[in-house]
Each structure stands twice: as C-alpha cells, then as structure tokens.
Amino acid sequence: MRSDTGELYRAFAEREAHGNSPIYQELAERVAEDGQLGALLDGLPAVKRQPNLLFAAVRHLGGPVTEGWPAFRDWTTEQWAGVSATMLERRTQTNEAGRCATLLPLLAALPQPLALIEVGASAGLCLYPDRYRYRYRFPAREEGGREREAGAPVAEFGAVVSPVTLDCAVSGPVPFPGRPDSPGFPGSLREWLPEVVWRAGIDLDPLDVRAEEDMRWLESLVWPEQTHRLERLRGAVRVARAEPPLLVRGDLNATVREVVAQAPAGATPVVFHSAVLAYLPPEEREEFAATVRRLPGHWISNEAVSVLPAVARRLPRPAPSGSGLFVLALDERPVAFTGPHGQSLDWFDEA
C-alpha cells in the first residue's frame, strides 16, 4: 500500500509502536503493505483511519490482535462492517491516570484549595490527583561522585488508601517540598497532596465510568503488552466510580468559560489538559489559548512539544529528537519534559 494510509501505519510502527509494542509494530507494518485492508481503511474519513483506532476496534469486538498477522487480517477483513462501524462511532480517548504524577508538583504548589477543570477529560480519571499514591524514583545516574541505584525511590506518598500507585522517574530540580537528602524526607511529603474541592471535565464524547461498554472501550485502547497500564486503568476506574466526576459534553472552546464560571468561590480554578490539543486545528488551539488567558486562576498544559507554539518558544532546551516527550507548562511557562503516559518528569533548572 503506497498511500497516505500506508505511510500513516508505517510511521506509527516506527515512531510509536517500536520499543513499546512489538505486536502493534508488526501489525502496523503489515497493514501498511496490505492492499485490501488499505482500500477498506481508505473508505473511512481521514481522521478515522488511525492505527490506534483500528486496533482498539478489533480488540473491542473480540478480534485477534495477539495471534499474528494472518489471523488479524482474515478476521478484520471478514468483520469489516462491525470494525468500521466501531471506528466511526468511537474515538481514541485513552485516559491515563499516570499523567497525574507529572501534574502533581504544579497542583501542589498552587494556592489551595483547588477547583479542577479538565478539558478533553475522556472519563475524567486525571481529575483525582488527590486519590492516588505516588512513587517518584531517580533514573540511574551519577550524583556527587556516587552512583545512585537505578530507580532508587525519591519519595512515596499520597492518598492513605488507594488502589493506584503511580510510578514516575524524576530528574532535575522537581520542586518537592524539602530536599531529597534531608533528614525526614520523604516523610515530610505525606501531606503533599492538593486539596481538591471541585472537579469537572469537558469532552466531545465523555466516557462514563459506570458504563461497562465505555470502560471496555478504554481497556481496548491500552496496548496489549502494557498490562501494568491496564491494572492502573482498572484501579483508577474504581476510584472514579466511588465519586463519579461532573462531565460536560461539548467542544472545549464552546464550554470552558461556562464550566469555569461554576467553580466554587474560594477555590483556585485550574484549567488543565494533557494529550488533547493535538486533536484541534492550530486556529482552534489559538482560540483556546486566548480564552484561557482571560479566565481566572491558572492553566496547566501537558502536550506534545509542537502543539502550543507560545510554550515551545520558551523552552530552555530542545526535546531529545524522536523522544515523544510532552512539555508541562504553567500559564504558558514550560517547567518540565514529561513522559507521555506520566512515566517520567524532567524538571528544568530554570523553572
């Protein structure tokens, strides 16, 4: 297949699946070369041809994604009516609670209590940073002449009881309260959680944590080898089910003002988003930025480097090429590079 769709699948195999999912890498490489499946995909609107959407739809319908290419191709072409209907009906809405580990240092530093407003919230699992536990670790590196053990813990703290512990590798001067080597650290962090008094999300198509079909869709979006993410997702769903979030259906530009206006007086409104604005054309991202600049409170963005030019221009150093890292920013001031699923936090010296 020598088409845009073929290129899309080849690029996905090389840049996204490579090193993360051998299963999806192989399937994407084979789809890229398959004329029949390529023609079927080309019958869908361009935004609906994404590899993640195809693979999630096949899994959602019980199709084989782990049994090799021939089984995948045969099943998918035979069941194309159902697969394409699912791809047209659903979106890639991966909801990754792990991203809370990268948002937390900023949330904890803002005037408390907080009213959280997440745009592009999916099922709202990132609206519970105060309900998860956190384990921050150093990556392996030299420090003060001695080698730190790979993954040595910096800090572990969070909600007293939680089915979810978020692991995050930290580097740079993450503003933990207290220095990692000081006596009493990390005990001093036990209270270091934001106080959230209100939480609301906006999404074009909010997923309901109480709806089995919606949760099955979220599970289908987790790549097959990433069983730790599946466990985390299930735990976060349990957290959210205990107190389901207020989720508003709509476009973020059309609704963000009215949702922020509902935040209770006395709380700091925090508009935040991760892995969302890339779905918008540049002019709609600009419209959103112009709106949020005029809103009360603070704005936290966690997006791919090129998504917000005003943030990218202020980066103190370029992101390592091909890393896929996101930039975390507070009110358009970049503070860190972050792993796209919250697995790492590299704080800038200048931040």
Ligand X SMILES: C[S@@+](CC[C@H](N)C(=O)[O-])C[C@H]1O[C@@H](n2cnc3c(N)ncnc32)[C@H](O)[C@@H]1O
- Does position 199 interact with ligand X (CB under 6 A)? The reply is no
- Does position 174 interact with ligand X (CB under 6 A)? The reply is no
Q: Which residue, judged by CB position, is nearest to ligand X in the bound state?
A: 120
Please state, as a whole number, how many other Cβ atoms lie within 10 Å of the Cβ of residue 142.
Answer: 8
- Does position 120 interact with ligand X (CB under 6 A)? The reply is yes
How far is Cα 250 from Cα 232, in angstroms, rounded to an integer? 27
- Per the CB < 8 A criterion, the answer to whether 303 and 327 are in contact is yes
- Per the CB < 8 A criterion, the answer to whether 106 and 338 are in contact is no
Write each residue from 66 to 95 as x if it is in contact with ligand X (CB under 6 A), else as -, in one continuous string: -------------------------xxxxx
Among 32, 126, 222, 329, binds ligand X (CB under 6 A): 126
Pick 101 or 267: Cβ nearer ligand X: 101
- Does position 341 interact with ligand X (CB under 6 A)? The reply is no
Pick 37 or 252: Cβ nearer ligand X: 252
Closest CA to 231 of 96, 134, 101: 96
Which distant-in-sequence residues (6+ apart) come within 8 Å of 283 by Cβ?
Answer: none
Pick 126 or 209: Cβ nearer ligand X: 126
| Shortest distance (Å) from residue 283 CB to ligand X | 12
Judged by CB under 6 A, how many residues of this single chain contact ligand X? 24
Among 8, 202, 300, 305, binds ligand X (CB under 6 A): 202
- Residues numbered 265 to 304 that lie near ligand X (CB under 6 A) are 273-276, 279-280
Q: Is the dihedral of CA 248, 254, 258, 259 positive or negative?
A: positive
What secondary structure does DSSP assign to 259-294, as a single string? HHHTSPTTSEEEEEEES-GGGS-HHHHHHHHHHHHT
Pick 90 or 137: Cβ nearer ligand X: 90
Side-by-side strand order, sheet with 326-330 = 153-158, 133-137, 165-171, 344-347, 333-338, 326-330, 298-304, 268-274, 114-119, 196-203, 246-249
Pick 45 or 183: Cβ nearer ligand X: 45
Among 56, 114, 252, 328, binds ligand X (CB under 6 A): 252
Greatest Cα pair distance in the chain? 64
Footprint of ligand X (CB under 6 A): 91-96, 99, 119-122, 126, 202-205, 251-252, 273-276, 279-280
